């Protein structure tokens, strides 16, 4: 019938609209999805760590630690086999030189069959030499190029950064993972790419980066490298760094050992700590009052003191406070000697006294060495551990 013919045509038109169109479109998509941004994991060389070193002729040497998916024997063919590959290699390092980091990246791309993938790089190491020359240009690349993480941790390596990437750790998959975990524990300093960019953008604050030592097949964070602008100008040892960390409110794990009256030692494990900087400008003298609060547990006691005695605890608390104060003062002294504001004092003054700051901020370099720092500590020992008496002494 005529009517059915019409409806047939109509149906065909609708079919065209609802089925043929999407079908052809999805075919088109399937064909065209081969281009643009699609990249299979099989074609990626996953970067787990980056090292930047100074090379000859003012060049930069870029080393990347690449993950080896085949070498790891991840247990795809042998069900449940994955895991310890023994001495098998899980990652390797490639490096290339270039006039700047972008150039070096191109050179590395030329050496690898796969596309370099930066999105998972959690650690960035600067060699000492490059750090002394200036890290600014490299940081510019790392923050502008959208791939590396803002959360990546940045370190300065004693010697060459490449060395640290190259060593094979025992517990983790690769060395950059080791350093990342170390940084997270915050026994040493922890500076992320974002933090570094923040410090560099502030002309009054001096950046610091954790200093990585590599001795005897072990890498560890040991103190900090001090920067003036983007150039490394010195270092601070581990103990003094603790002082910096106290002031910057960045201490998370610590064991504080005091030595009351020279007989034996009492060690305390830090539970919580909090520090606050309170700037004061009085009669032209600039002063910082640092209030530090800490709560500890006793973990070891080799003295014959009764740690259940409130008086003893009181004494211990005072000793601990004194120790913290000593550390901080040492750090401040060193920083002031080098005229590097690594504590964020400038920010504190800026916030509290914006108008004074505006007029005298250009003289900050002259003011900082003379800022008096007063430390008020308030230590609380909460528990004497699980035993009350010292068990080592009769």
Partner 1 sequence: MKIFRRTRRPRSTQKNQSVTIPPKNLKDSPLSKDLKQNLQILKSLYTDCSDVIFHDFVIGEKETAALVYIDGLSNIEEIDEHLLEPLMKENADAGSITAIKDQISISSTKKINKISDVINEISNGNPVILVHNLNTGLAVALPHWEMRSIEDPAAESVVRGPREGFVETIRVNTSLIRRKIKSPQLKMKSMVIGKYTQTQIVITYIEGICNQRLLKEIENRLNKISIDGILESGYIEEMIEDNPYSPFPQVLSTERPDVVSANLLEGRAAILVDGSPFALIMPISFWSLMQSSEDYYQGFIVGTTIRWLRYFFLCVALLAPSLYVAILTYHQEMLPTTLLLTIAQSREQIPFPALVEALLMELTFEALREAGVRLPKQVGAAVSIVGALVIGQAAIQAGLASAPMVMVVAITGIASFLIPRYSMATSIRLLRFPIMFLSGFLGLTGLMLGVITLVIHLCSLRSFGVPYLDPLGPTKKSSLKDVLFRAPMWSQTTRPHFTGDDWNKNRQAPGQKPHLGKGDQ
Partner 2 sequence: MIEKRKITSAQMAIIMYTSITSTGILLLPSAAFQYAKRDIWLALIIGAALGLFTVFAACRLHQYFPKKTLIQYSEQLLGRFAGKLIGFIYIFFVIYLNSFILREYSESIISNFLSSTPLFIVMGSMVFVCSLGVRSGIEVLGRCAQIFMPVIVLLFLLILILLIPELEPLNILPVMENGIIPPIKGSLVAMIWFGEYILISSLLPFVSDPNKGLKNGMTSVLATLSAIVMVSLVILSLFGQLMGDYLFPVIVAARYISIADFVEHVEAIIMAIWVLGAFMKISLFYYVTVLETAQWFKLSDYRPLVFPLGLLLVIFCRWIFPNLQQLIESVGLAFTAFSVSIEIGLPVLLLISAFIFQKLRQNKGNQRNESV
| Residue window 127-166: x/- pattern of binding to partner 2, with contact defined by CB under 8 A | ----------------x--x--xxx---------------
- Alpha-carbon distance 385 to 153, whole Å? 34
Considering CB distances under 5 to 8 angstroms, the limit depending on partner class, which of partner 1, partner 2, none binds residue 29?
A: partner 1
User: Closer CB to partner 1, residue 175 or residue 390?
Assistant: 175
Of the residues 2, 4, 5, 42, which one makes contact with partner 1 according to CB under 8 A:
42
Considering the rule CB under 8 A, would residue 40 count as an interface residue with partner 1? yes
Task: Give residue 382's Cα distance to chain centre.
Answer: 30
Considering the rule CB under 8 A, would residue 8 count as an interface residue with partner 1? no
- Alpha-carbon distance 110 to 106, whole Å? 6
Considering the rule CB under 8 A, would residue 253 count as an interface residue with partner 2? no
Helix (H) or strand (E) holding 144: helix 136-144
Please list, in sequence order, all residues whose beta carbon lies within 8 angstroms of the beta carbon of residue 318, skipping any fewer than 6 positions away. Answer: 379
Of the residues 129, 132, 173, 238, which one makes contact with partner 1 according to CB under 8 A:
173
Of the residues 8, 81, 119, 136, which one makes contact with partner 1 according to CB under 8 A:
119
Q: Give the binding range for partner 2 (CB under 8 A) out of 66-74, 324-332, 344-352, 376-384.
A: 344-352
Nearest to 312, CA basis, from 255, 271, 268:
268
Q: Give the binding range for partner 1 (CB under 8 A) out of 44-52, 184-192, 233-241, 378-386.
A: 44-52
Task: Please state whether beta strands 44-54 and 60-67 pair in parallel, antiparallel, or not at all (unpaired).
Answer: antiparallel
Q: Give the binding range for partner 2 (CB under 8 A) out of 70-78, 84-92, 193-201, 225-233.
A: 193-201
DSSP state of 186: T
Considering the rule CB under 8 A, would residue 41 count as an interface residue with partner 1? yes
Nearest to 322, CA basis, from 314, 388, 254, 371:
314
Considering the rule CB under 8 A, would residue 2 count as an interface residue with partner 1? no
Could you give the angle at the alpha carbon of 365 between the alpha carbons of 359 and 369, nearest 5°? 115
Cα distances (angstroms) measured from residue 107 to each of 210, 271, 308: 29, 48, 65
DSSP 330-370: HHHHHHHHHT---S-HHHHHHHH-HHHHHHHGGGHHHHGGG
Considering the rule CB under 8 A, would residue 18 count as an interface residue with partner 1? yes
List contacts with partner 1 (CB under 8 A): 14, 18, 22, 26, 29-30, 32-33, 37-42, 44, 46, 48, 67, 69-70, 72-77, 79, 82, 117, 119-120, 122, 147, 149, 173, 177
List contacts with partner 2 (CB under 8 A): 36-37, 119, 143, 146, 149-151, 194, 197-198, 201-202, 347, 350-352, 354, 358
């Amino acid at each position: 019938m005529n009517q059915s013919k019409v409806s047939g045509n109509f149906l065909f038109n609708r079919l065209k609209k609802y089925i043929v169109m999407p079908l052809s479109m999805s075919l088109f998509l399937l064909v065209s999805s081969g281009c643009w941004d699609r990249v299979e994991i099989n074609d990626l060389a996953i970067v787990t760590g980056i090292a930047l070193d100074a090379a000859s002729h003012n060049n930069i040497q870029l080393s990347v630690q690449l993950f080896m998916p085949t070498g790891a024997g991840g247990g795809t063919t042998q069900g449940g086999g994955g895991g310890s590959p023994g001495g098998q290699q899980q990652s390797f390092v490639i490096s290339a030189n270039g006039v700047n980091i972008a150039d070096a990246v191109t050179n590395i791309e030329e050496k690898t069959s796969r596309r370099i993938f930066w999105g998972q790089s959690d650690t960035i190491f600067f060699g000492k030499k490059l750090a002394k020359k200036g890290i600014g240009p490299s940081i510019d690349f790392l923050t502008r190029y959208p791939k590396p993480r803002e959360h990546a941790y940045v370190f300065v390596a004693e010697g060459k950064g490449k060395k640290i990437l190259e060593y094979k750790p025992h517990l983790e998959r690769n060395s950059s993972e080791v350093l990342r975990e170390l940084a997270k524990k915050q026994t040493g300093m922890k500076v992320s790419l974002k933090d570094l960019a923040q410090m560099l953008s502030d002309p009054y604050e001096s950046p610091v980066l954790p200093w990585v030592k590599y001795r005897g097949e072990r890498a560890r964070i040991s103190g900090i490298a001090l920067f003036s602008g983007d150039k490394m100008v010195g270092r601070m040892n581990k103990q003094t760094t603790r002082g910096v960390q106290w002031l910057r409110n960045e201490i998370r794990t610590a064991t504080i050992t005091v030595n009351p009256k020279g007989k034996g030692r009492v060690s305390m494990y830090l539970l919580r700590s909090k520090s606050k900087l309170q700037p004061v400008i009085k009669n032209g003298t600039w002063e910082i009052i640092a209030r530090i609060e800490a709560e500890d547990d006793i973990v070891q006691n080799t003295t014959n003191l009764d740690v259940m005695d409130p008086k003893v605890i009181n004494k211990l608390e005072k000793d601990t406070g004194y120790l913290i104060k000593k550390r901080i003062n040492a750090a401040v002294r060193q920083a002031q000697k080098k005229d590097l504001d690594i504590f964020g004092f400038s920010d504190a003054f800026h916030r509290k006294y914006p108008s004074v700051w505006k007029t005298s901020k250009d003289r900050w370099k002259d003011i900082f060495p003379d800022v008096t720092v007063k430390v008020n500590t308030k230590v609380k020992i909460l528990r004497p551990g699980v035993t009350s008496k010292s068990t080592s002494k009769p």
